[in-house]
C-alpha cells in the first residue's frame, strides 16, 4: 500500500492549501484506522509543502508505524520534475527532503509528482540520499489522456520491467547500475490505483485478479496507489467549470477526466478500499513499506 499525500483538490483540478487540514483530519485519519484493521504497513509519500503545512500529519503517520517517503516539494504542474532543469530538480528534492526529515527523521523512498521524472532525476535521487523510487507504472496506457511532456515518459511505461529493478542513467525503462531500486506501480493497461478502483469497480476487480495471479506466479510485489484526498466528499466545494478555468486550456477531455476522477469519492472510496485490503489479506499478501521491501530485495539478491 502506497499513499501520495499532496494538497490536491479534485473539483478545482489543482493545488489548494485550504484543504490540507481536511486531508489530514478526514483522509489520513480514516486511512490509518482502516490500515490498522488489516495490519497494513504502508508508505506515505508527502510533498514538502504538505508536510510544512500540516506537520502533525507526518508525525501521526509515523506514530502508527508507517513509512514516510518524499513526493518532491510541490505538486503543481509548473514543478513536475520532467519539465525542470537538473539544478531546479535538485533544489526541489533537497528542499522537500530537508522539510520532511525535520519532522520525520531520515527518509529514503521517493515517488515523483504525477509520476513525472526523467533520467536526470536518477542521479539527483542518489545525491540526495534516496535509495528507492516508485514512479514507473509498467504497462500502463493512458491513450488519449497522454499530453504535453508526459507523452515520451508514459510511452516508455509500456516497455518498462514489471518486476523491481535498479534504474539506468540512460533510460528509465531499462535496468541499470544506479543505486536507486525502482519498485514499479502495478498496472496492466490500467493502473492499480484508487483512481481506477473508483472509476470502474468492475474493471478494477478484473485487473486486481490478474495482478494478484501475476504476483504469485513470478514473485513480484503488487503496488497499489491511493491518495488521502480521495476520502473527501468535496460537498459545497468549487466545481470545475468553464468560468473558473482558463478557456484556452478547457477541452472536452478535461471534463471527461474530471467526471471520471469524481466518481465514488468520500465514504464510498473507503468502502471500496476496504474490499481491496480484504481481498489482499485473504490472498495471503504481507503488507510492507517500500523501504522494507527494498531491504528484503537487496538482502536476498532478488532479480530475474
Full DSSP string of 147-179: -TTHHHHHHHHTTS-SS-EEBPSS-TTSB-S-S
pTM of the model: 0.90
| For the chain, percent of residues with pLDDT exceeding 70 | 86
Mind listing the pLDDT tens digit for each residue in 245-264?
454 444 544 555 656 677 89
Are the C-beta atoms of 295 and 288 separated by less than 8 Å? Answer: no
Q: What is the pLDDT of residue 24?
A: 97
The region that residue 247 occupies, defined by phi over 0 for left and psi between -120 and 50 for alpha, beta otherwise, is alpha
The answer on pLDDT for 193 being more than 90 is yes
| pLDDT band at residue 151 using 50, 70 and 90 as cut-offs | low
Q: What is the pLDDT of residue 12?
A: 78
The region that residue 175 occupies, defined by phi over 0 for left and psi between -120 and 50 for alpha, beta otherwise, is beta
| pLDDT band at residue 244 using 50, 70 and 90 as cut-offs | very low
Average pLDDT over residues 86-100: 98
pLDDT greater at residue 202 or residue 161:
202
**Rounded distance, CA 21 to CA 112, Å?**
23
Q: What is the pLDDT of residue 14?
A: 79
Other Cβ atoms less than 10 A from the Cβ of 251: the count is: 11
What percentage of the chain's residues is helix, strand, coil (to nearest 5)? Answer: 50, 10, 40
CATH code of the domain containing 270: 3.20.20.370
Q: What is the pLDDT of residue 8?
A: 86
Question: H-helix or E-strand containing 191?
Answer: strand 190-191
Residue 296 contacts by C-beta under 8 Å, 6 or more apart in sequence? 288, 302
Q: What is the pLDDT of residue 143?
A: 55
Q: What is the pLDDT of residue 228?
A: 97
Burial 72-100 (b: 16+ CB within 10 A, else e): bbbbeeebbbbebeeeebbebbbbbbebb
pLDDT greater at residue 161 or residue 50:
50
The answer on pLDDT for 138 being more than 90 is no
Q: How far is CA 9 from the centre of its chain?
A: 16
Are the C-beta atoms of 303 and 224 separated by less than 8 Å? Answer: no
**Rounded distance, CA 162 to CA 183, Å?**
9
| pLDDT band at residue 105 using 50, 70 and 90 as cut-offs | very high
Are the C-beta atoms of 51 and 105 separated by less than 8 Å? Answer: no
**Rounded distance, CA 265 to CA 249, Å?**
25
Average pLDDT over residues 204-231: 96
Residue 267 contacts by C-beta under 8 Å, 6 or more apart in sequence? 233
Domain residues for the domain of 271 are: 2-300
Q: How many domains does the chain divide into?
A: 1
Residue 3 in 3-state DSSP? Answer: strand
**Torsion sign, CA atoms 115, 121, 6, 297:** positive
**Rounded distance, CA 100 to CA 97, Å?**
5
Amino acid at each position: 500500500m502506497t499513499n501520495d499525500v499532496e494538497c490536491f483538490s479534485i473539483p478545482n483540478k489543482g493545488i489548494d492549501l485550504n484543504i490540507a487540514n481536511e486531508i489530514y483530519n478526514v483522509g489520513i485519519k480514516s486511512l490509518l484506522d482502516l490500515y490498522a484493521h488489516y495490519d497494513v504497513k504502508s508508505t506515505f509519500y508527502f510533498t514538502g509543502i504538505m508536510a510544512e503545512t500540516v506537520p502533525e500529519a507526518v508525525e501521526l503517520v509515523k506514530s502508527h508505524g508507517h513509512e514516510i517517503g518524499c513526493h518532491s516539494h510541490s505538486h503543481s504542474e509548473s514543478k513536475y520534475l520532467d519539465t525542470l532543469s537538473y539544478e531546479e530538480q535538485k533544489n526541489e528534492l533537497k528542499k522537500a527532503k530537508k522539510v520532511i526529515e525535520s519532522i520525520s527523521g531520515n527518509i529514503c523512498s521517493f515517488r515523483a509528482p504525477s509520476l513525472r521524472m526523467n533520467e536526470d532525476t536518477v542521479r539527483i535521487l542518489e545525491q540526495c540520499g534516496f535509495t528507492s523510487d516508485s514512479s514507473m507504472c509498467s504497462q500502463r496506457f493512458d491513450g488519449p489522456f497522454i499530453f504535453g511532456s508526459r507523452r515520451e515518459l508514459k510511452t516508455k511505461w509500456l516497455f518498462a520491467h514489471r518486476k523491481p529493478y535498479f534504474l539506468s542513467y540512460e533510460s528509465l525503462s531499462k535496468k541499470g547500475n544506479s543505486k536507486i531500486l525502482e519498485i514499479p506501480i502495478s498496472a496492466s493497461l490500467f493502473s492499480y490505483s484508487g483512481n481506477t478502483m473508483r472509476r470502474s469497480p468492475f474493471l478494477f476487480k478484473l485487473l486486481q485478479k490478474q495482478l494478484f495471479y501475476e504476483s504469485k506466479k513470478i514473485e513480484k510485489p503488487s503496488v497499489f496507489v491511493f491518495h488521502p484526498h480521495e476520502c473527501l466528499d468535496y460537498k459545497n466545494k468549487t466545481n470545475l467549470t468553464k468560468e473558473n478555468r482558463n478557456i484556452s486550456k478547457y477541452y472536452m477531455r478535461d471534463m471527461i477526466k474530471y467526471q471520471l476522477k469524481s466518481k465514488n469519492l468520500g465514504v464510498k472510496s473507503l468502502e471500496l478500499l476496504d474490499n481491496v485490503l480484504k481481498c489482499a489479506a485473504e490472498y495471503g499478501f504481507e503488507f510492507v513499506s517500500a523501504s522494507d521491501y527494498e531491504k528484503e530485495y537487496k538482502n536476498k539478491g532478488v532479480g530475474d
